Amino acid sequence: MSREVDDLALWLEDALREVLESMCFLSLEGSTPCQVAASDWLSCALQFAGVPSGAFGLRAPLSMARIMAANFLGREEAELNDGQIMDVLCEVANIACGSVLARLDPQRSFALTPPVPGQFTTREVWGIEGVCRTFTLDEGSIETRLEIGTRE
């Protein structure tokens, strides 16, 4: 990996760790480059505009997403419906993206689109820099993808 991609991977891990520990009470164990995810994983993606612009995606198996949602909302897993689970996945993506962007540039603000359920990569081709990591936890796996472009 290049130095810049190394930095992106580190920021991605730091951001996700911060969000999961403080909002979902979950700890990351380690990470590897992304593998091919099962088709039934839940996913969510959003785009950000600024300098630089890009996209952020997050996906997880239903069982993992359910645990995240239960911890985030302080509810029992059995009480949650599909909409609540997806809503939390999208909010975690939103917060993690904001956390990564604060590391990219702490001075300037970025405009974020609302998270879109069912996406992991965006249709836009950014293609300048990108990193995708699978994070392991005791409870399962989570994947995140960060794409950086140059357009404003």
Partner 1 sequence: MPSNVLIVDDSRSVRMVMRRILDISGFALGDCLEAADGLEALRILMREKVDIVVTDINMPNMDGEEFMQQIASDPYLRRIPVMVLTTDRSEERMERMISLGAKGYITKPFVPETIGAALAKLVQESL
Query: Contact positions toward partner 1, by CB under 8 A?
Result: 18-19, 22-23, 69, 72-74, 84, 87-88, 90-91, 94-95, 97-99, 101-102, 105-112, 114
| Minimum gap (Å) between residue 2 Cβ and partner 1 | 26
Cβ nearer to partner 1, comparing 39 with 81? 81
| Minimum gap (Å) between residue 97 Cβ and partner 1 | 7
Cβ nearer to partner 1, comparing 5 with 23? 23
| Minimum gap (Å) between residue 86 Cβ and partner 1 | 10
Three-state SS at 58: strand
Cβ nearer to partner 1, comparing 110 with 126? 110
Q: Are 73 and 65 in contact (CB under 8 A)?
A: no
Encoded amino acid at 148, one letter: I
Q: Are 23 and 72 in contact (CB under 8 A)?
A: yes
CA-based angle 139:121:34, to the nearest 5? 45
Extract long-range pairs of 93-97: CB within 8 Å, 24+ residues apart.
93/44, 93/45, 93/46, 93/56, 93/57, 93/58, 94/46, 95/19, 95/23, 96/15, 96/16, 96/19, 96/56, 96/58, 96/144, 97/15, 97/46, 97/48, 97/56
Cβ nearer to partner 1, comparing 73 with 128? 73
Cβ nearer to partner 1, comparing 18 with 34? 18
